[in-house]
Amino acid sequence: MLLNQNQIGCVQNRPEVKFEQIIGRALAAESDVASTPAYLRAEWLGNTANSVLQHQEALAKTIVQEGIKTIREARSEVGRAHVTLKLCAEQAKRNIGQMIPFDQAPRGVGRIGWTEMRPVGLVAAITPFNDPLNLVAHKVGPAIAAGCPVIVKPHEATPGSAIQLQKLFAQNGLPEGVFQVMEGKGAEIGKRLVEHPAVKMITFTGGVATGKAVAISSAGRPTSLEMGGICSTIVMPDADLQNAVENIVSGMFAAAGQNCLHVQRVLIDDAVYETVVQKLVVGTNEIQLGDPMSESTDMGNLIDEQSAKRCVGILDDALTRGGKIIAGGRCSGRSFQPTLLENVSKEARIYSEEVFGPITVIERFNGLEEAVTRLSKASASLAVAVFTKSLTLPFSLRQLRTGSIIINDSTDFRIDAMPFGGPFPAGLGREGVEYAIKSMSEPQLICLNLN
């Protein structure tokens, strides 16, 4: 059934729901959803996925109105949320344990056993502003697939699409209390939520400072943290340069750089440095800024002026350390031009802090060994990309402590079945449908004595 904009789109004038009422509803639904057959949980997820696609335009408009994306980027996000929920529906039927060969020990002879995956219980999910629908789907979908009730605390600036998703789930038969949205400031409502004793598992996507606070508040409970990091790209002399430039430009400025997979560092071999830089400058200058609802706009604004000021601070720091602007560099309110820097000192903040904005630093290197040595010093790495025609060269990157190695594609390439995240301090655990479902489940051993 198609709902009108008021039915799924109105996010104002909602009756205030008390914190403990939301917790109470989740706990009341806990045992029922845990015992719901997998096929029925899969139906809730699959039918809602179809509804998401049917309401693509309404959801996309909400994403644009509240957040940072252009209308084309928002439609793409809705499409990804559809795929995410479909994957969850499929995986709900595959969350299985394993047989245990008890006869591997003498005293185990005559016994058989297995593990079954049981839902961990009430899940608290905290999500950011940059993918306000799909990152909610990445937490709600796995929770329902695993048989857990879930409470989502979305970013205070972008709750609308999460609320719309909740309504679509309800229209597709999801029982009351299984998925709820709790609005409010992260420092207040979010903290109270993760500290609540009824919460059995916490999943968080966001910044480092908040992630560390969540880890402290989790009090030893299962916790998944995705806190971002610096993504780097290497361009080798044998690369398909046109392919490299197109993918790098896309990865630098999608979502105005407010993307944890944003291409923040580009390392270019001396042999092709001048050629690649020239092409990157041209591609950067072609990015169209403007009304995010316009089909011709390529890049939207930063989420707020505080974020813009932070990016200005990182840019100014790079310039005081010898950096040179070769494209962009201007900021007005929340609008920040796509910006490229070169000749920046390795002591600059841009080498140790995630920018979360449309700024990228470009640097020369001479030979892969030098590039690997530099990247091995990165404090938190989510992904490293390399552009090359070599089949063997990328294996040299496996020594890097990074979550992903991407070959001949941008670091921001992602399909929603992939494991996602990076080693500490970039995060803890992995996102991605199958991996999230496992984190929201716990094995229960069954042992049968046949003697």
121 and 141 fall within a common domain? yes
Q: What is the DSSP letter of 254?
A: G
Measure the CA dihedral 392/253/317/329, to 10°: 130
Q: How many CA atoms lie within 13 A of 420 on its CB side?
A: 23
266 and 393 fall within a common domain? yes
What is the pLDDT tens value at each position of the chain, 451 positions in all? 445 545 554 444 444 468 999 999 999 999 999 999 999 999 999 999 999 999 999 999 999 999 999 999 999 999 999 999 999 999 999 999 999 999 999 999 999 999 999 999 999 999 999 999 999 999 999 999 999 999 999 999 999 999 999 999 999 999 999 999 999 988 889 999 999 999 999 999 998 889 989 998 887 899 999 998 899 999 999 999 999 999 999 999 999 999 999 999 999 999 999 999 999 999 999 999 999 999 999 999 999 999 999 999 999 999 999 999 999 999 999 999 999 999 999 999 999 999 999 999 999 999 999 999 999 988 789 999 999 999 999 999 999 999 999 999 999 999 899 998 988 888 899 999 999 999 999 999 999 999 8
Rg over CA atoms, the chain: 23
Is 368 inside a domain boundary? yes
- Tokens (6 digits) for 297: 């706009």
262 and 222 fall within a common domain? no
Q: Which of 389, 407, 408, 411 is nearest to 398 (CA)?
A: 407
Is 187 inside a domain boundary? yes
Is 412 inside a domain boundary? no
351 and 433 fall within a common domain? no
CATH code of residue 288 = 3.40.309.10
**What is the arrangement of strands in the sheet containing 427-428, beginning at the earlier edge strand?**
179-181, 150-153, 123-126, 201-205, 223-226, 427-428
Q: Report helix, strand or coil for 430.
A: coil
pLDDT value for 13: 40
Q: Which of 132, 212, 136 is nearest to 428 (CA)?
A: 212
Residue of 226, 353, 354, 434 marked active site: 226
276 and 217 fall within a common domain? no
The total domain count for the chain is 2
127 and 45 fall within a common domain? yes
Torsion region of 367: left, alpha or beta (phi above 0 gives left; psi -120 to 50 gives alpha): left
351 and 254 fall within a common domain? yes
Which amino acid type is present at position 239? A
Task: Please provide residue 348's backbone torsions phi and psi, each rounded to the nearest 5 degrees.
Answer: -70, 155
**Which residues on adjacent β-strands are paired with residue 181?**
152
- Tokens (6 digits) for 108: 């185990």
Is 105 inside a domain boundary? yes
Domain that holds residue 436: 5-227+426-449
The answer to whether the CB of 211 falls within 8 A of the CB of 335 is no
Is 413 inside a domain boundary? no
Is 36 inside a domain boundary? yes
Is 420 inside a domain boundary? no
pLDDT value for 379: 78
Residue of 88, 260, 311, 331 marked active site: 260
User: Is 10 an active-site residue?
Assistant: no
Q: Which of 257, 344, 359, 249 is nearest to 312 (CA)?
A: 359
pLDDT value for 1: 44
| CA dihedral (167, 172, 177, 178) positive or negative | negative
Is 186 inside a domain boundary? yes
**Kind plus residue range of the DSSP H or E element containing 211:** helix 208-217
User: Is 260 an active-site residue?
Assistant: yes
Strands 404-407 and 381-387, how do they pair?
A: parallel
CATH code of residue 23 = 3.40.605.10
Quickly count: other Cβ atoms within 10 Å of residue 13's Cβ.
Answer: 5
Q: Report helix, strand or coil for 413.
A: coil
Enumerate residues 6+ apart whose C-beta is below 8 A from 128: 135, 155, 205, 206, 207
Rounded Cα–Cα distance for residues 164 and 147 (Å) = 21
235 and 323 fall within a common domain? yes
Q: Which of 246, 294, 231 is nearest to 73 (CA)?
A: 294
- Tokens (6 digits) for 126: 């905290």
205 and 354 fall within a common domain? no
Rounded Cα–Cα distance for residues 148 and 145 (Å) = 8
Rounded Cα–Cα distance for residues 328 and 330 (Å) = 6
Task: Work out the angle at residue 444's Cα, subtended by the Cα atoms of residues 150 and 221, and round it to the nearest 5 degrees.
Answer: 45
235 and 139 fall within a common domain? no
**Going along 300-433, which residue ranges are E strands?**
324-327, 331-332, 335-336, 339-342, 359-365, 381-387, 404-407, 427-428
237 and 186 fall within a common domain? no
The answer to whether the CB of 221 falls within 8 A of the CB of 199 is yes
274 and 212 fall within a common domain? no
Strands 263-269 and 230-235, how do they pair?
A: parallel
